[in-house]
Structure 1
Amino acid sequence: MWRLLRTAAVFVQQALLRLAKRRRTQKPRIRIVCLSDTHSQTLAIPDGDILIHAGDLSRSGHADEIQQAISWLSSQPHRYKIVIAGNADLCLDGGATGMSRTDDAMRIDGGLDWGDVRYLERSTTTLAFEDHGARRILTIYGDPSVPRCGPDGQEAFQYDTDQDYWRDSIPPGTDVLITHTPPKHILDEWDGASEGCASLLREVQRTRPLLHVFGHIHPAAGIRRVIWDHTLADSLPMLSSALTEGKNLSVQAETHGWVALMRFLVGSAYQVACSWLVGGVESGIFVNAACMSPDGMHLKNPPHVVYI
């Protein structure tokens, strides 16, 4: 019964959020195409204003594989192409030890030809758009770092899982965040377990980007929108558990679960009411853009397209 009620609550909250989104005044939108975890394979990419690749360009991390992926992305017609690395892209990690001399030389000497692709590594880029005389600026921050998932030399850009790596790391005013790892409880489920980073979730809650694109967890690919408010701590675990077959990761007792459920529903209704009365509810879009199948053998998921 509890699981049924929890799932129904999540369904109602998501429906209300879609309704509030339609109610808001439309403004010029930017079409963003998101992909990740292509691992040296290619697929058809829809057109858009911005193309984002959230890491794992290559299968083994060698420079020739990464160059092939860069050339493929650079050939796309999108006005802007933004790329970060992933844990598989060893050649791009200056601290990695599993590279050949050729890979190391290409990284140090700048031997990779990025074309018109913008590569972000704990860095920011700014994009300008003109629409019928109106100018819009997007600030994009990218960081490839992931919680440790393998031995040094076999995985790139790792940090220890008990480290508060992301604390105060995302610049204020970031509109679009690109990471390889997902935040905790958001499109991060693998075999019923939440594999995302809690430190990243806290930092995302603090900075509230319009869009957060990531990958890494292949089976959890998809799009999710959340409301930035005081009920987020309750809603994320319920969303995570209700939309997967895994157990609820935060509700340890049914009594606590009922309290969390009521806070979740009341907070969601309040935010939707504010949207109708004053024309706005602050929310964020999350995209797990992983294209690779869970077994890592073939591309399964198409790129995701979102508007901001």
Structure 2
Amino acid sequence: MVFEALTPWRTSKSPSKPAEPFEPTPFPILAFRAPVKLLLYNIYHLVTGLRSAPNPSHPPIRVVCISDTHNNIVKDVPEGDILIHAGDMTGDGSIQEIQKQIDWLASLPHKEIVVISGNHDTYLDPRTRPSLREDQRSGVIDWKRIHYLQHRRLSLTIAISPEDHDGSGSVNSRTHLLSQQSRHRRITLYGAPQIPACGPMSVHAFQYPRGRDAWSETVPEDVDILITHTPPKYHADLPLPSGMGCEHLAAEVKRVKPILHVFGHVHWGAGRETVWWDGCHDAYEKGMNTKSQWSHGLFNPWLWGNVIRVAYRGLRGLIWDRVWGGQGSHTIMVNAAQMHGITGKLSNPVQIVEI
């Protein structure tokens, strides 16, 4: 979510008014307004959630993912090889607020730290920087050891010793021998901050009009980890009733198929899911994209057809996984927002992924 803790006017308190787009819609309203899509959503997440977790490479790289800290400090950040912050470090986006977050992040023990901007990090977008007071935009940011990605590709070489991830806290003789042969893994990241418009263009950074394609052919094909601030549409983005992510980003992620996609922005969507690039996913997105202007989709054969395809294709993929051990092409998607809804508190769990 974007505005909840910082611009309270976004929150509807009246039960007679519909929920704001960045707030979860109550289940009874969803059941009335979009019953078939609600069924489609739950079948898709049931069959994909029962599949095995993707197997990481060996040795694995441990990626710690956070986002949407809004000037707050995350306590007890878990250790890892790479720490990623997917934007909205600040509230007002002044240079002073940004520097405080950088100072904190740079003090953490992770081997590499990668950061992108969010729409609240106003100073980092030259188009919105003039909205800050002069004292809020004077000075120079010291990024220290942090890699800041703004439409930029980055390649990192990570040295990994076996004991880094053995989980035992001890090193036996065999592990000690192997540790003398620490492996190096090369990983490629790409970060981009742009989001569909959700506030004043002169204040909120890196926005483009909702519906405009700001993504096609922008992400390098060799990217292992993609970092954006907005979610892709229909994945960890409050997908019902209409989805708050970007459909063009979703298409770009499908084209590139990174191992890991980290984002934030929609606080209520925090969590992770694995997207398997197969017929089940295709039917899910087609069904979610179906427009039903009457009867809430109850008599829409195209929508019901995609519900059946999701169930059939999903069950077939589940059997292929659980019986035959096949996994197939996939992307782990992580909404790493730390801010919990409109509470103003960082209570969402830090996401850790091994790839």
> Shorter-chain-normalised TM-score: which range?
0.7 to 0.9
Are residue 14 (structure 1) and residue 23 (structure 2) matched?
A: no
Structure 2 residue 318 is the aligned partner of structure 1 residue 285: no
Number of residue pairs matched by the alignment: 291
Q: Distance in 1 between matches of 2:326 and 2:332?
A: 18
Letter in 2 for 1:32: V
Aligned-pair CA distance for 1:296: 5.5
Query: Does 2:301 align with 1:301?
Result: no
SS in 2 for 1:203: helix
Q: How does 1:1-308 map to 2 (within 5 A)?
A: 7-8=42-43, 10-15=45-50, 17-18=51-52, 21=53, 27-44=58-75, 45-96=77-128, 97-106=130-139, 111-131=140-160, 132-189=181-238, 192-236=241-285, 253=299, 255-272=301-318, 277=324, 279-295=326-342, 297-308=344-355
Assess, with a 3 A threshold, how the Cα gap between structure 1 residues 252 and 144 changes in structure 2: closer, same or farther: farther
- Structure 1 distance, partners of 2:238, 2:135, is 37
Structure 2: which amino acid aligns with 1:144?
P
> In 1, Cα distance between the equivalents of 2:223 and 2:304?
35
Bigger strand share: 1
Q: Distance in 2 between matches of 1:65 and 1:204?
A: 31
- Does the 8 Å contact 1:80/1:117 carry over to 2? yes
Deviation at 1:303, TM superposition (A): 1.3
Where structure 2 has 5 or more consecutive residues not aligned to the other structure, the ranges are: 1-34, 161-180, 290-295
- 2:307 corresponds to which letter in structure 1? L
TM-score (norm 2): 0.74
1:182 & 1:252 partners in 2: Cα distance? 28
Identity across matched positions, percent: 35
Rounded to whole Å, the distance in 2 between the matches of 1:37 and 1:238 is 30
> Residue 6 of structure 1 contacts residue 238 of structure 1 at CA under 8 Å; is this kept in 2?
no
What does the per-residue CA deviation read over 1:274-307, in whole Å, with 9 as the maximum and x for residues that have no partner? 5565854111111111111221522221211111
CA distance in 2, matches of 1:9, 1:155: 34
TM-score (norm 1): 0.85
> Please, which moves more after superposition, 66-75 or 260-269?
260-269
Structure 1 residues 66 and 252: alpha-carbon distance in aligned structure 2, compared to 1, 3 A threshold: farther
C-alpha contact 2:287 2:303 (8 A) present in aligned 1: no
Go from structure 1 to structure 2 and tell me whether the alpha carbon gap of 1:162 and 1:257 turns closer, same or farther (over 3 Å shift). closer
Change (3 A) 1:272 1:206: same
Q: Which has the larger radius of gyration?
A: 2
Note the alpha carbon deviations across 1:184-222, whole angstroms, 9 max, x for none.
Answer: 000101885411111111111111111111111111101
Give distance in 1, aligned partners of 2:288 and 2:45: 6
> What SS does structure 1 have at the residue aligned with 2:279?
coil
